[in-house]
Structure 1
Amino acid sequence: RHKEILGPCTGNKCSEALVVDGHQKCRRRVCKAKEIEIKTDLFEKMIVGCCRTPLRYSKYCELHLHKHPETDNNKQKNSRELVISSHIRSWKTRRSQKEKHFGATGCCTSKARGDSYVRKCARSFGVIAAVTNCCIVTTFGEFFRTETLKEILQLLTNSIKVSGVVPKTAVYDDGCHLIEYLHKHIGKDLAETYAAKALSQIKFSVDRTYFRNHVGSWCRANMNPDKNPLLENINTQAAEQLFSWLKGYASIISSLGWKRASMFLLIIFHHKNLIATNIKSSSVFNIVNQVPHEPTISLMHTADSISLLEASNILASSTSSSTNQSNKIVADNLTKCTPEKEKKKTINE
C-alpha cells in the first residue's frame, strides 16, 4: 500500500509484482530452544524457535535455561571422532546429491533443513523479505529454525490481511514447492481463510536467476518467469538487490541482541523505502487507523509471549512450593519448642 501511504514511485511499473527471498548473512546468536509451539489463524500448530539472545557462557536464554540444565557431565566426543563423523556425513551427502540429480524428474530446491541440524544451530537462519519490483520492502521477518514453507505462507497471508492488497503476481526462488504445499494443504491442516484463498489465486513464478536449477517438468511448464505475461519488463531481482545492500550491515545485525535486531531492521528498511520514493526522513505518517491489529503478525514475539507465560507460571509454582515448605519448617520448629516450654513451666511450679 505504499502508493497510498508513501506515494507512488517514478515510472509506470510501480508495485506490479512481489518478490520474496531469504538472506542468510545477517545471522545472530539465538537461544537453542527450537520447539516452541504456537497457534495462528492459518495453522493449528506451528513450531518456531526462540528469538532471545542466550545468557553469557550459555546456549539458552533465561526463559529456557531451566528446561535444559547444562552440566559439566555432558562430555563431548574427542576431536578425532568428530573429524571422522564429519567426513562420513559429507560423503553421504555428496553421494545422495549425485543420485538425486542423475535423471532428476523433480526440483531439488527445497530449503528445509533436518531437525538434527536445526537443533545444533546456535544462530538464526537470517531474514526473509517481500519486496515490490520497484524495491519497496513491504514485509520482513527473521527465521530461527529454517526457511520453512509454513512461516513463508504465514508471512504472506499476514501481509495480505494487514494491507488489504493482493499482488497481481509474485516471485519466489522455491515457488514450486510453496504452491504445491499451499494447494495440497489448504482446507486441511491449513485453514481456508480469505488471505489463504487470495494467495492461492496469485500467479507465482521462479526468479529468473534461479530458474535454471528447476528441472521438474511441472515447474518448467508453469513457473517459467519468461512465460508469465505479468512479469514482462519486471525486475524479478529486487529482493537480491535489497540484500546486496543489506549485506553491508551484516556485521552490525549479527552482533545485536534480540530486542535491537528487529528494530534496527525495521528502521533501515523504512529509510530505504523513503529514499526510493524521494521522501524526507523527518516525514510523519498517520498509519494507526489504516493498519488493523493482527496479534500474530510477528511469529517471534508470539513465541516469546508463550515462553514468558510458561516461565512465569513455573516461577509462581516454585515460589508457592517454597513458601509451603518454609511454613512447614516453621510449624515443625514450633511443635518441637512447645514441650520444652511446658516442661520448664512445670519445674518452676
Structure 2
Amino acid sequence: MRVDLFDFELPQDLIALRPARPRDSARMLVVEGQDAPLSDRIVRDLPSFLRSGDVLVFNDTRVIPAQLEGRRGEARIGATLHKRIDLRRWQAFIRNAKRLHHGDAIEFQAGVSAIAEMHHEDGSWTLAFAGEEPVEVLLERAGRMPLPPYIAGKRATDEADKSDYQTMFAREDGAVAAPTAALHFTPELTAALDAAGIGRETLTLHVGAGTFLPVKADDTDDHRMHAEWGRIEPEVAERLNAARRGGGRLIAVGTTSLRLLESAADEDGTIRPFAGDTAIFITPGYRFKAIDGLMTNFHLPRSTLMMLVSALMGRERMMAAYAYAIGEGYRFYSYGDSSLLLP
C-alpha cells in the first residue's frame, strides 16, 4: 500500500508543546462507525462512552531519561537509548554517528562512559556502559527525558517534563517514549470509571525511539518495524479473556497496548501470556483479534500509527476525522488531545 495515502498537511501551531491541565480536560474526538457523526467531547467524558463490564488496557511502562550528551575525543556525540540488550548494554540511535567507530569510548556527562561495540543495519549502535552501577542509575545522573523531536526541536526539555511525560500508571522502567494516550488520565477520572463498572488492566511494552522514525519507504511492504519488548502476565490474560467472554469490550489505551494485545492473541481472539519482542506492523486489511476499540492521540502524517488507526476505522474515515480535527483546532501528538475510536 502506498505510504502517501496516509499523508496530510498539519499546521505547525497545532503541535502541542505542553499537556492540558488538568490532564483530563484535554479534548477528545469520538469516532464511531461509518455513519455516526463525529462527537467533540473532553477526556473527562470517557465513562459515558463505555459500559459496565468494558475493560481499559493500559501500558505501565515508565520513561527513563534516555538521552545522553557526550564526546568521543573532540567530537560531540548524542545518544538516545531505545532498547535494552542486557544489564550493561543498550541499543542506541547516535547523533553525529559518522564520528563514531567500533571500540570508541564515549564520555558522557556526570562521569558516565560507554564503549561503542556494534553498528547495526538500521544505523543504531550497541553501547556497553562502564562500571557496576545499574544503567538506570547512570541515566538518572547523566540523562534527560527523551521528548519527541517535534517538541524538543521547538523548546528545551525542563523540570516539568519529568512528571508531564509520565503516565499515572508508570511503573516498569524501560521506555524511551511515553504511551501518550494514558497521559490524559487522572485519579478523578479513574474513580469515575470505577464507579461506572469499567475495569482496568495493565501490560508492559517498553516503547522504543523507533516509534518516532519516519516511514522512508514508498510502499508499506518495504518498511521494517523496530522490535520492542513487551509482557502480558498470565493472570492479566486470563482476566481479559474472561471479560470478553462476559460481553465486555477491550479498549486499548494507546497504540502500544493495542500492538501488544494483538501480538499475543490467537486467531480466535484468545489472549495468551506474552514475554518477548514484537515488531507487529498493522496496516489496512489487518483483521483485529483482541481489541474492540482504541483511545489514542493524533498521529504524524505518513506514520505507522496513522496506518494503524486507518486499519481500525478505515482510511477514508480517519482521513476525514483528521481533516475535521485540524479544522477544529485539536492539538496533535504526544502532549496533544485525544480520540476515542469505536469501530
Fold-level match, TM-score > 0.5? no
Q: TM-score, normalised by structure 2?
A: 0.28
Q: TM-score, normalised by structure 1?
A: 0.28
Larger Rg: 1
Pick the structure with more strand per residue: 2
Pick the structure with more helix per residue: 1
